[in-house]
Amino acid sequence: MTTLFDRYRLGGLELPNRVVMAPMGRIRATAEGLATPSMAVYYAQRATAGLIISESQQPSLLGQSNPGTPGLYTDEQVAAWRPVTDAVHANGGRIFAQIMHGGRVSHPDTTGLQPVGPSAVPAVGDVFTPTGMQPAPVPRALDTSEVPEQARSYAEAARRAVDAGFDGVELHGANGYLISQFLSSNANLRTDAYGGPIAHRIRFAVEAVAATVDAVGAARTAIRLSPGTDIYGVEETEVPELYAALLAELARFDLAYLHVEATAEEEVLVGLRRAWPGSLIMNPVAPESPKPTDRTAADHWLGLGADLISFGRAFIANPDLVERLRTGLPIAPADRDTFYQGGDAGYVTYPAYQYTAA
């Protein structure tokens, strides 16, 4: 029987366990999108994970969603990430960079630019800005001639990520951001080759992946998806058919892995596991669930065929999460007030489990 603590071969990496640290925005980068020394400490503390997936990094200023997030589009940003990846590797870890283009989930107060999207349809709800939450603005619909450039931006960021020392990249195709917007049936109202029928709506995702594979190789390329999500108001019709078509196209690239969030019924997700021929990372808890992933959920999905399990919030307050899971130690709760406030408190200040003498 497969356990969380079995070794696993992932592309060119040998993982010591099947526990993955999921990507989580912590809003600790500088105003220029640079990684900081505290970020090196934060990730190095969690290097016992089989694999770390970094917080989202924008591939361009236009692609930035939230303030305080790091980027991968300037030489300075690349240089700032090298001490982070070096620290993870020095502690025996492995780390992929998540690349995220926010698309319509952005604001001019954050970037100085009008957000773009598949269509001029705003996201539902508020978005983060430097002065607090504000209603999502109406994005500018990308012209057909502009779409390939946005797809290539993932590949350009991937090259920089490898230069910065990352072991690979994960394209963020989930949670209502740009790739997810193209997959959507209500955010994407296009009538050209990128909208309408399923074969057209998956095209942007496939082109972004293809460009990234060309840039850094399939063994260093992965994608995260959230089938059926409604985050930021996206809707997807014909979810099983949509993702079956997408996975059929992606399967030909022999990617490092597919990372799936539990945003659809279990039957649908199990069907995707059966359809996907490569490595699968499962995140058993939807992003908006009040309960973080635990050992029970992890074991359940390993039993259903997942190869690796990603844990998000549990890693925030438990830098030694792998050991706690292995030995049944208590999982410490995280202080939600410090998730996005900046600074070291609630970031690098959580200790490993403190044993006391009997």
Tens digit of each residue's pLDDT (9 = 90 or more) over 155-189: 999 999 999 999 999 999 999 999 999 999 999 99
pLDDT in tens, 2-53: 999 999 999 889 999 999 999 999 999 999 999 999 999 999 999 999 999 9
pLDDT in tens, 72-85: 999 999 999 999 99
What residues act catalytically? 177
Q: For 314-330, what is the mean pLDDT?
A: 97
Q: For 238-263, what is the mean pLDDT?
A: 97
Say if 353 falls within a structural domain. no
pLDDT in tens, 268-282: 999 999 999 999 999
Q: Which helix (H) or strand (E) holds 208?
A: helix 203-216
Does 290 score more than 80 pLDDT? Answer: no
Bridging pattern class, strands 13-15 and 8-10: antiparallel
Q: How far is CA 19 from CA 94, 253, 316, 354, 357, in A?
A: 12, 24, 14, 21, 29
pLDDT confidence tier of residue 289, bands split at 50, 70 and 90? confident
Say if 173 falls within a structural domain. yes
Whole-prediction pTM value?
0.97
Which domain does 84 fall in, by range? 8-338
Say if 106 falls within a structural domain. yes
Structural domain count, the chain: 1
pLDDT of residue 358: 58
Say if 90 falls within a structural domain. yes
Say if 332 falls within a structural domain. yes
pLDDT in tens, 107-144: 999 999 999 999 999 999 999 999 999 999 999 999 99
* Cα separation, 246 vs 186, whole angstroms: 18
Say if 108 falls within a structural domain. yes
Say if 352 falls within a structural domain. no
Does 357 score more than 80 pLDDT? Answer: no
Say if 354 falls within a structural domain. no
pLDDT confidence tier of residue 330, bands split at 50, 70 and 90? very high
pLDDT confidence tier of residue 287, bands split at 50, 70 and 90? confident
CATH of residue 296: 3.20.20.70
Does 356 score more than 70 pLDDT? Answer: no
At which residue do the structure tokens 């790739």 appear? Answer: 179
pLDDT confidence tier of residue 199, bands split at 50, 70 and 90? very high
Whether the CB-CB separation of 138 and 89 falls below 8 Å is answered with no
pLDDT confidence tier of residue 302, bands split at 50, 70 and 90? very high
Measure CA 50 to chain center.
16
